[in-house]
Structure 1
Amino acid sequence: MIATKPDLLQFFKKTRSHSESICEPLQIEDYVVQPIVDVSPPKWHLGHTTWFFEEFILKPHKKEYKLFSEDFAFVFNSYYESVGKRVVRTDRGNLSRPTVKEVYSYRNYVTEQLSELLNEEVSEEIEGLVEIGIHHEKQHQELLLTDIKYILGNNPLTPAYRDDFQESTIESQKPQWIEIPEGIYTIGHRGDGFAYDNEFGRHKVFLQKFAIANRFVTNGNYLEFIEAGGYENVMLWHAEGWEWVQTHDISKPLYWHKTETGWQHYTMQGLNSLDPDAPLAHISYYEAFAYAQWKGLRLPTEFEWEVAQEHFSWGQRWEWTESAYLPYPGYTKVDGALGEYNGKFMVSQKTLRGGSVATSEKHTRPTYRNFFHPQLRWQFTGLRLAKTL
């Protein structure tokens, strides 16, 4: 929990402001585009995060609260089945109305109303809901950036988002293996500060002796895999991964382009020459697994990653792990609609650890568990290698 109510109010306002600053470089036409189902229009993100505060806090807890619009719950609900009907996810980009101007008016209205509420005496329950709402918006700030990158990166003009947006920092330490001894380790959130429900259920795991790389796999490392025929070697791939490669004609990471002058990749600064020393990004779990197989190594489990993370730098890339996204021992969903937040997705997905260049400040931590289907790669996803000793 945030230390004091004024701190919570300031944290809320700063978070709301940051979402809008992310959208400052956009043209009005950029706000509505939805190239694929996984990418939502920026306008929708701005509206959905606003609806979250309105639906779960203002409606039930602010006296005489008046909805900004009776129609916006249908437009901006994401997946909360218990709350009501909503626009089908694939149709978010078909909504020319409400306008961008109306969405910003909606944001201002809800921000003002919630600020008024926080200036009153409120319960710890409401403060906890506000904190969840803040971190929910921070999740969508990351999605905003990655969705904007997909929108612009799949435009044939490959326009830059922002000339000063740095997607990565070159790691300076020499490559080495970090050895972790066999033993019983405790996994999960300790209870200090904010965490999602999927991080709780602190429990012990037994780990065999292993080693984990202190550095990410780089673009140059992965280029060697491509040039060695990695995408043509069926023996390196899971069956589902191989089917995905064949069906979708996958031969390189997302945003990579092979040109007459060499390899290029799209970044938030536009189309640039591929930097071989930069951390690899935008690969699927299938590709991460195949690369590890090619190296005769493997991906770390999420438990190995959590135990070892204090020994290396992380946060530039979401890191694929070999762990399925599953509940910890004793996990129970919270009551009501917020029980749909994490628990119902604990099937057919892989866990990622760390964070990325798109992750907002004060949002990630060593126990944070992200999760995606194994074929997805529009996020800043990379990998580090591990081996059993």
Structure 2
Amino acid sequence: MLLKVLTGNISFTSLPPLDLASCTKKEILDYFENSYALNESVFTALKDDSVFYKCPDRLRLPLIFYYAHTAVVYVNKLVLAGLLKERINFEFEKMFETGVDEMSWDDTENYRMGGSYQWPSVDDVVEYRRQVRETIRNIIHTTPLQLPITMENNWWALFMGMEHERIHLETSSVLIRQLPVDMVIKPDGWNYAPMNSDDIPKENKMVAVSNTDVKFGKPKDFPSYGWDNEYGEVSCFVPSFEASEFLVTNGEFLEFIKADGYSKREYWTEEGWKWKSYRDANHPMFWICNNGCKSGCGAALSSYSHCRFPETYIANDIINSNDQKYDFKYRAMFDILEMPLSWPVDVNYHEAKAYCQWKGDGYRLLSEAEHNAIRGNQEPCQSGPKLCDPIFSGKISFNNNLVYGSSAPVNLFPNNDLGFYDVFGNVWQWTEDQFNGLCLDTHYLYDDFSSPCYDGKHNIILGGSWISTGDEASRFARFAFRRHFLQHAGFRLARTIQDKDDKIELPTRVVDTEVYVLGCGVEENKLSLDQDKIKPIVVPSTNVHYHFESPHALWGILEQEFGFRKSFPVVVADLCKELVQNNAIDTNSALWIGAGCGRGPVLLSGTFEKLLACDVVARFLDTAMSIQNGKDVKIETESGKSVVATLEKDSKPERVVFKQFTWIPNEVGIDLYDLTIITFLERTQQPKAWLLRLSEITRKKGLVVVASRSGQWNQESLEPTLGEKGLTCIESKDVHYEDTDGDKTASFTIWKHV
């Protein structure tokens, strides 16, 4: 075991989450130590340092990234919240800040995966994690604790770090499970579940649920940490349906394999068949045949296949009452096992949907509302966390919270009052719903978490898995992945109870907002439901940024930028040129946040040697880069006015780099900027998330310009945020500009980084 990766004790036992209305500092410290230890402990299974630099999944990063990443997120969020004044290692806090959420299964490997990128040594990263651990221990000891801990409390950032660590315990376990088995060693204290229960289920019958009304969503005042997508409330009517008593098992899925389910196009969605064909998938990823199937690993492991039967290596330390051998083995976390037929199958959304289609007769996946309906009687949220949410009680009656280090027989744990087994735990359950927020309101620390995934390309998973702990194992947990992603995830069958000629409105929420992908355009979001019989609930994305990705929004901003002699970006650029002259600031580099279609940054390109121009809206940036490359863009406005967006004369567009950011990542701070300009606060979801980083990316004695079209962001409103971060307002004024509604007034505040 690679014990040197531990900065504390090894542990595979999880504490329950904390009640934020009554927790003590000792309880917070214990929960932090437990979170930190759990994540580090799973890495002790790697045989040696070299395995940290392997890529178990070509769509992800090497394991060294995930080992460091959680510590970096603690630091980054604590800095934003003001609990940490000085960074620990800014190079690491740039390098390990952000992972990947690739757009499709055939993305090329991230450049950091290919071997040319020089990752730090394991020893250096262990030392970094040790420094972060001691820093957080000190913060807990020395920071005054005010209860209850709410979103408005800076302690919220610490709990975000702890729950994020627990998410990555699961992420890392999925990746380690994909490694060649000879690169891992099962740690002491890791126990697999029994192969079978005393009473192996002979069938998986459908259990009827009468039509009902359900409500789901986490109250904002509930005394536990939650992620942004959990908050809000949805009330909906659920028509009568039936769902399978058990999760679909390996044994049941084996019948789909025997029926050549992976080779029959008619069972697969269009997207699913493209994935299956590209990956040449013939069975679930964690099944092992003897045919040398593609592994999906990356970089040095790209030619590896786990589909080779070992001559002697079959783990024998689990209870196996079935001596029959099958054509498939099973990859558990660290071992190859005989196929556990009564354990739930691990598949992605595409495989689950293909199985449903093979079963025929209207079978599908559950909706999110139906999953809430099969949970049976639950205590109301007002009864407090220990009564209403089992994970808080410490009395676990599901296969979650690391009761076992694997899935378990689907009937090993008791069923609920409606007769359903494993509503929580064992494996996550794919649903038909596309991921979306339950409300528009969010929090500045969350800006880089859920909202980028409200794009119609991610489907919700519910219920948690055997390794879900903390908030992940809560009744409120709702996560999502792209449909081809691999997780400890499975499914149960569902079917609407209806007359043959009825068209039922199913409480399945699908996102209809078109999302423009930089360099690719808009990809069609085809639904996989039988729309002749089922009508889903169509909703707009709750990510407000995506609503600017429409052609109509593009035409509007093109008119605003290029349709007037003194348009808003022209006025901002002129003001910035005056600031350079009057304040004698350096002109090496500038950053323009809210670049739109690029007129402002290009106008300023003759003043600065380098200019980074960023925005959240991909369609705007795509157009900006076309104009930058000399292509004129012509539009007809609603009033019949003809506007041509063209490259400014005497500009130096080669000095401008356009990039899409959903928040200000640390990579923006690699080079500190002489001048930082922010012009789009009115169209951001969380303005504070952008404002908090301005001082950290602007050099000492450099200037920050905040330009507000609405006048809302004036000196008085900005002082509490920018003043606390070391920026001093040196000037505030109103400036007139031209817009579609005539003459307008914008407020400008100029801040110096002292």
TM norm structure 1:
0.88
Task: Structure 1 unaligned segments of length 5 or more: list them.
Answer: 81-87
- Structure 2 match to 1:355: 464
| Cα distance between partner residues in 2 of 1:141 and 1:276 | 26
Change (3 A) 1:160 1:280: farther
Amino acid paired to 2:442: K
| Cα distance between partner residues in 2 of 1:13 and 1:122 | 18
Amino acid paired to 2:208: E
For residues 354-389 of structure 1, give each alpha carbon's deviation from its aligned partner in whole angstroms, at most 9, with x where no partner exists.
111232356312221111111122x11111111112
Task: Kindly state the Cα deviation for residue 110 of structure 1 after the two structures are TM-superposed.
Answer: 1.1
Which of 126, 130, 154 does residue 104 from structure 1 map onto?
126
User: What does 1:365-380 correspond to in 2, within 5 Å?
Assistant: 365-377=474-486, 379-380=487-488
* Other structure's SS at 1:151 match: coil
* Other structure's SS at 1:77 match: coil
- Structure 2 match to 1:39: 60
| Cα distance between partner residues in 2 of 1:366 and 1:160 | 33
- Structure 2 match to 1:270: 335
For residues 249-306 of structure 1, give each alpha carbon's deviation from its aligned partner in whole angstroms, at most 9, with x where no partner exists.
111110323338722222224223222222111x121110110111121111111012
Which of 40, 47, 68 does residue 20 from structure 1 map onto?
40
Task: Kindly state the Cα deviation for residue 49 of structure 1 after the two structures are TM-superposed.
Answer: 0.8
Matched, 1:306 2:306: no
CA contact under 8 A between 2:228 and 2:446: conserved in structure 1?
Answer: no
For residues 123-172 of structure 1, give each alpha carbon's deviation from its aligned partner in whole angstroms, at most 9, with x where no partner exists.
6422211111110010011111111111235xxx5755458442676465
Which of 115, 118, 138 does residue 137 from structure 2 map onto?
115
| Cα distance between partner residues in 2 of 1:93 and 1:192 | 44
Amino acid paired to 1:127: W
Task: Kindly state the Cα deviation for residue 326 of structure 1 after the two structures are TM-superposed.
Answer: 1.6
Task: Kindly state the Cα deviation for residue 48 of structure 1 after the two structures are TM-superposed.
Answer: 1.1
| Cα distance between partner residues in 2 of 1:359 and 1:113 | 26
CA contact under 8 A between 2:213 and 2:237: conserved in structure 1?
Answer: yes
Greater Cα shift, 239-248 or 161-170 = 161-170
Change (3 A) 1:32 1:341: same
Amino acid paired to 1:368: A
CA contact under 8 A between 1:152 and 1:160: conserved in structure 2?
Answer: no
Change (3 A) 1:249 1:333: same
Amino acid paired to 1:292: C
Task: Kindly state the Cα deviation for residue 228 of structure 1 after the two structures are TM-superposed.
Answer: 0.9
| Cα distance between partner residues in 1 of 2:282 and 2:431 | 22
| Cα distance between partner residues in 2 of 1:373 and 1:217 | 21
Greater Cα shift, 8-17 or 185-194 = 185-194
Which of 416, 420, 432 does residue 322 from structure 1 map onto?
432
Amino acid paired to 2:458: Q
Greater Cα shift, 261-270 or 170-179 = 170-179
Change (3 A) 1:254 1:20: same
| Cα distance between partner residues in 2 of 1:70 and 1:119 | 24
Task: Kindly state the Cα deviation for residue 24 of structure 1 after the two structures are TM-superposed.
Answer: 1.5
* Other structure's SS at 2:252 match: helix
Task: Kindly state the Cα deviation for residue 21 of structure 1 after the two structures are TM-superposed.
Answer: 1.3
User: What does 1:1-389 correspond to in 2, within 5 Å?
Assistant: 1-2=19-20, 3-26=23-46, 27-58=48-79, 61-62=82-83, 65-78=85-98, 89-91=110-112, 94=115, 95-120=117-142, 121-122=144-145, 124=149, 125-152=153-180, 157=182, 160-162=185-187, 164-166=190-192, 170=196, 174=201, 175-190=204-219, 191-259=222-290, 262-281=327-346, 283-296=347-360, 297-310=363-376, 311=416, 312-313=421-422, 314-328=424-438, 330-335=439-444, 338-347=446-455, 348-361=457-470, 363-377=472-486, 379-389=487-497
For residues 95-129 of structure 1, give each alpha carbon's deviation from its aligned partner in whole angstroms, at most 9, with x where no partner exists.
55321111111111111111111112156422211
| Cα distance between partner residues in 2 of 1:201 and 1:158 | 44
* Other structure's SS at 2:375 match: helix
Task: Kindly state the Cα deviation for residue 60 of structure 1 after the two structures are TM-superposed.
Answer: 5.2
State percent identity of aligned pairs: 23
Aligned length in residues:
374
Task: Structure 2 unaligned segments of length 5 or more: list them.
Answer: 1-18, 101-108, 291-308, 310-325, 377-415, 498-754
CA contact under 8 A between 1:318 and 1:382: conserved in structure 2?
Answer: yes
Task: Kindly state the Cα deviation for residue 66 of structure 1 after the two structures are TM-superposed.
Answer: 3.7
- Structure 2 match to 1:83: none
CA contact under 8 A between 1:34 and 1:93: conserved in structure 2?
Answer: no
| Cα distance between partner residues in 2 of 1:215 and 1:168 | 17
CA contact under 8 A between 2:61 and 2:99: conserved in structure 1?
Answer: no
Structure showing the higher strand proportion among its residues: 2
TM norm structure 2:
0.47
* Other structure's SS at 2:154 match: helix
For residues 213-267 of structure 1, give each alpha carbon's deviation from its aligned partner in whole angstroms, at most 9, with x where no partner exists.
1211111111111111212222211111122222321111103233387222222
Rg larger for: 2
